[in-house]
């Protein structure tokens, strides 16, 4: 068992992971800054009681609760995703897209994807069951984000899109400016959950609902099927404009560590794909988790995988001063149904290959 020294994590949780903190700690403790740097990056082989006492004294002076010291500095292995969410504190908010068909200018009904709601239900069960060590379950909340289009011709009306964008933009602004710690979970692709579009655009520094005019801004791209609505996106469309070969192959396209596009093609009842994105923002004391499939069926399959095998998607790969970011590409194959009547659309997943985007790839694209 590897015992971790979580100095960086504890400092970030209480807003003390600032530029120059290593030097300040070294001056206070009267040691070489390289000694503190090794502890900060969890690369030290040992720590003396004298140095540990001085570190705790400095952190207590900075307002880090004494009851978290020195225990909060130590851990056995990485904390699982669900435990990390519980430790983060605050509320867990699950965001779902809500389809609103329009007739004579009125909303005729409000509809949530069965696939997305299944994922939400399983996440609620997971989060409500408590965590290792008896930590209480976090508070849970739901928010629904409207999207409207014509299912007959798969057309997204520009006027309705603009209205839905403005509503969702305000929700995204609220999540970004919320001073309280918490977790946001975004379920569903950008075609059904417009909050995902704002989240991805902000993460990779591009404009939401606007295709890139030059080089790619996002290291993955969804090439829509002909039956998909034509939602404009910074990481989706009817063809991948950055790729010559397979540019119109329906499915998920992503950049590998060599900078080449790789395709996870969609094939009905056979192959599918999706993405999980995790962002641990130490400055804002928030976690954002986004999961979406190329199809609704893939979203459901990936949700099940996330609940049952969270270690495949955590911890994030890219570690910066105040944030950790992970992007995980999921390539799926399905088990064929024995008859056309027995599955009723249930997910029978045969394999789910999870591939982490490399740190150097994320460092190039993350804003």
Instruction: Tell me the per-residue pLDDT of 6-21, one tens digit each, with 9 for 90 and over.
Output: 898 789 878 898 989 9
Q: Is the pLDDT of residue 338 over 80?
A: no
* pTM of the predicted protein model: 0.80
Q: Is the pLDDT of residue 218 over 90?
A: yes
Q: Is the pLDDT of residue 258 over 80?
A: yes
For residues 107 and 265, the model is more confident at: 265
pLDDT score of 357: 97
Q: How far apart are CA 334 and CA 349, in angstroms?
A: 4
Which alpha helices (DSSP H) does the chain contain, by range? Answer: 7-13, 21-29, 33-40, 49-61, 81-88, 114-128, 158-177, 194-204, 296-308, 359-365
For residues 31-40, give the mean pLDDT: 92
pLDDT score of 98: 95
The CATH classification number of 3-76 equals: 1.10.260.40
Across 43-52, 219-228, 306-315, the highest mean pLDDT is recorded for: 219-228
Each residue of 275-305: pLDDT tens digit?
A: 999 999 988 889 999 999 999 999 999 999 9
For residues 296-317, give the mean pLDDT: 93
Q: Is the pLDDT of residue 217 over 90?
A: yes
pLDDT score of 3: 76
Which among 59, 95, 57 has a CA at the least distance from the CA of 188? 95
- Among residues of the chain, what percentage have pLDDT more than 90? 67
CA distances from 12 to 42, 155, 283, 324 (A): 14, 45, 6, 11
Q: How far apart are CA 339 and CA 329, in angstroms?
A: 30
For residues 78-82, give the mean pLDDT: 70
Q: Is the pLDDT of residue 129 over 90?
A: no
pLDDT score of 233: 98
For residues 176-204, give the mean pLDDT: 95
Q: Is the pLDDT of residue 132 over 70?
A: no
Instruction: Name the pLDDT band for 213 (thresholds 50, 70, 90).
Output: confident
- Among residues of the chain, what percentage have pLDDT more than 70? 93
As given in the structure block, the two tokens for residue 42 are 């969890």
Which among 61, 49, 68 has a CA at the least distance from the CA of 21? 61
Q: How far apart are CA 66 and CA 72, in angstroms?
A: 10
Q: Is the pLDDT of residue 134 over 70?
A: no
Q: Is the pLDDT of residue 149 over 90?
A: no
DSSP conformation class of 48: -
DSSP code per residue over 203-272: HHT--TT---SSS-SSSEEEE--TTS----BTTEESS-TT-STTTT-SEEEEE-TTS-EEEEE-BTTTEE
Where along the chain do its domains lie? 3-76, 81-365
Instruction: Name the pLDDT band for 344 (thresholds 50, 70, 90).
Output: low
């Amino acid at each position: 068992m590897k015992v971790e020294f979580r100095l960086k994590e504890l400092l970030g949780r209480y807003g003390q992971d600032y530029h120059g903190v290593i030097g300040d700690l070294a001056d206070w403790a009267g040691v070489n800054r390289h000694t503190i740097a090794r502890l900060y990056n969890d690369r030290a082989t040992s720590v003396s009681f004298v140095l540990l006492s001085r570190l705790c004294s400095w952190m207590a002076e900075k307002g880090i609760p004494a009851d978290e010291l020195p225990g909060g500095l130590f851990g056995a292995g990485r904390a699982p995703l669900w435990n990390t969410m519980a430790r983060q504190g605050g509320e867990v908010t699950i965001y779902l897209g809500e389809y609103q068909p329009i007739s004579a200018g009125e909303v005729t009904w409000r509809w949530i994807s069965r696939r997305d709601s299944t994922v939400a239900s399983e996440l609620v069960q997971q989060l409500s069951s408590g965590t290792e060590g008896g930590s209480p379950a976090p508070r849970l909340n739901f928010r629904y984000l409207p999207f409207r289009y014509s299912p007959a011709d798969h057309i997204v009306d520009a006027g309705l899109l603009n209205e839905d964008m403005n509503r969702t933009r305000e929700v995204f602004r609220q999540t970004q400016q919320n001073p309280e710690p918490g977790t946001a979970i975004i379920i569903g692709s950008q075609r059904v959950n417009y909050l995902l579009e704002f989240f991805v655009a902000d993460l990779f520094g591009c404009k939401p609902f606007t295709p890139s005019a030059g080089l790619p801004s996002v290291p993955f791209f969804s090439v829509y099927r002909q039956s998909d609505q034509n939602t404009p996106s910074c990481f989706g469309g009817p063809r991948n404009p950055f790729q010559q070969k397979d540019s119109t192959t329906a499915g998920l396209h992503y950049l590998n560590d060599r900078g080449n596009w790789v395709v996870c093609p969609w094939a009905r009842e056979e192959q599918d794909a999706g993405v999980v994105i995790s962002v641990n923002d130490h400055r804002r004391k928030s976690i954002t988790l986004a999961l979406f499939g190329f199809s609704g069926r893939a979203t459901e399959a990936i949700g099940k995988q996330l609940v049952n095998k969270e270690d495949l998607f955590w911890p994030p790969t890219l570690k910066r001063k105040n944030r950790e970011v992970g992007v995980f590409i999921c390539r799926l194959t399905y088990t064929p149904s024995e008859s056309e009547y027995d599955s009723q659309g249930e997910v029978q997943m045969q394999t789910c290959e999870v591939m982490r985007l490399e740190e150097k790839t994320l460092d190039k694209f993350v804003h």
